[in-house]
Amino acid sequence: SVFDRMDAVEDRVKAYLTVEKESALAQAARVDEKLAAGEELPPLAGIPVAVKDNICTKGVRTTCASKILENFVPPYNATVVERLKEQDFVMTGKVNLDEFAMGGSCENSAFQKTANPHDLARVPGGSSGGSAAAVAAGEAILSLGSDTGGSIRQPSSFCGLVGLKPTYGAVSRYGLVAFASSLDQIGPLGRSVEDVAMLYRAICGRDPMDATSAALPQAAASWDLEGGVRGLRIGLPWEYFGEGVEEPVKAAVYRAVEELKKAGAEVKEISLGSADYAVSAYYIISSAEASSNLARFDGVKYGYRAPNCEGLTELYERTRSEGFGAEVKRRIMLGTFVLSSGYYDAYYKRAKRLRQRIMGEYEDAFADCDVVITPTAPSTAYKLGERVGDILKMYAGDICTVTVNIAGLPALSVPCGKDENNLPIGMQLIGPKFSEGRLFQTAHTWE
Ligand code: GLN
């Protein structure tokens, strides 16, 4: 049925960069055989999952939506893909993103612009826009995305889905093409909290191939979705309900919080004072790390190589000039700038100090509340092309999501209403490290 949906809508949605129909149907047939033989199957057996195209898949092109990796075929699977294979999942294909996951609308892809299935004239969000659009259009049942500063949660919000950015270290990053290593996490997107929780359970846990992955405390991978919210202490940071946030978004989140209150939660206003500086700190830290991570794309080891070069310097220059898109170049330049001697103290070091402060603020907040709730994004999905020339407006769209990555916390985006154009609105639930279960339970109560 997901391939029938692709036949019907994919030429307009454009979520996929690579469709794996043949191998998917063969895998589905294998699962059918096992079922017919009476075998007991794991929860994700036979479930069609789309994979963001910055997650390595053995033998299947992994482009990062960049010309520089247009023909890159990884010789190995990311750990998350291996774990899903163990469950006999069905991979439908690889889905679109902003080049190297840099962006918030999917418009930075070198190959195509993905549309929002709720309104084809609008963006699906980003960078995991293909992951969100594929599920929202019925072209996959679940998907994997990655989130460095909001890239799972914001597209989930724009496309009316549930999306989880896990605790830093909860999911292995092995095989995820690095953007900003101290912020990146892979996570699930789906139509319901239950679906997302199931996919999360399949991919989480310690992996010897990723030194930053954590052995999860037992409680971190078990939860009771029906547990309710009686006595749960919810904090609403007033800074996240300010001027920049559209009225219908605020109203929908407040309404959802009211419902949680009726279900027995306690609600209090709190303050996360560094919110004003968070976007600046995020773009300094993430670009610094990106400039270092992307140094490996030099025309020698992977992917595109500019033809007919004389000497190594020309090879580097032309490969990178021709292979990277404008936004990626902007981040590399910004990153090398803030790391250069003379500017390091003024920018990078100060951003790191802000990072400490943001972490401290969350720690204080979680001393007297269990879950912090904010809008996921200040607006609903905007029109394709509307923000393309306005970089700062684009970056400002990340205001609600970036502190979560900076502090390494888990956060879940759940649909909580529609605006006047019938576009989905998302609310963000943030918890202390490894509190994914609590977030699922709270969101399921609202659902
Ligand atoms: N929109 C943010 C950025 O452009 C977040 C991207 C992400 O989470 N990968 O960096």
- Count: domains in the chain: 1
Q: For residue 259, what are the domain limits?
A: 1-447
| Alpha-carbon gap, residue 127 to 124, rounded angstroms | 9
Q: In what order do the strands lie in the sheet with 48-52?
A: 16-19, 90-95, 48-52, 142-147, 185-190, 162-165, 411-418, 424-430, 371-375, 233-237, 266-270
Ligand 1 pocket check: which of 151, 152, 379 to mutate, most ligand atoms within 8 Å of Cβ? 151
Positions of the chain with pLDDT lower than 70, given as ranges: 218-219
**Quick one: pLDDT at residue 302?**
85
Task: Please state whether the predicted TM-score (pTM) of the whole model is above 0.95.
Answer: yes
Give the ipTM of the model, two decimals please. 0.98
Distance 152 CA to ligand 1 centre (A): 9
Instruction: Please answer whether residues 108 and 330 qualify as being in contact, where contact means their C-beta atoms are separated by less than 8 angstroms.
Output: no
**Quick one: pLDDT at residue 446?**
85
**Quick one: pLDDT at residue 243?**
86
List 127, 131, 286, 291, catalytic entry: 127
Other residues' Cβ atoms within 10 Å of the Cβ of residue 263? 14
List 14, 52, 94, 165, catalytic entry: 52
CATH code of the domain covering residue 198: 3.90.1300.10
Instruction: Please answer whether residues 75 and 69 qualify as being in contact, where contact means their C-beta atoms are separated by less than 8 angstroms.
Output: no
| Alpha-carbon gap, residue 50 to 167, rounded angstroms | 22
**Quick one: pLDDT at residue 219?**
66
Distance 120 CA to ligand 1 centre (A): 22
DSSP code of residue 422: S
151 carries an active-site annotation: yes
127 carries an active-site annotation: yes
* Mean pLDDT, all residues of the chain: 97
Query: 296 — alpha (psi -120 to 50), left (phi > 0) or beta?
Result: alpha
**Quick one: pLDDT at residue 139?**
98
Residue bearing the CA closest to ligand 1, atom 10: 102
**Quick one: pLDDT at residue 447?**
84
Ligand 1 pocket residue status of 397, Cβ below 6 Å? no
**Quick one: pLDDT at residue 220?**
73
**Quick one: pLDDT at residue 216?**
86
pLDDT in tens, 149-206: 999 999 999 999 999 999 999 999 999 999 999 999 999 999 999 999 999 999 999 9
Instruction: Please answer whether residues 428 and 234 qualify as being in contact, where contact means their C-beta atoms are separated by less than 8 angstroms.
Output: no
Distance 60 CA to ligand 1 centre (A): 24
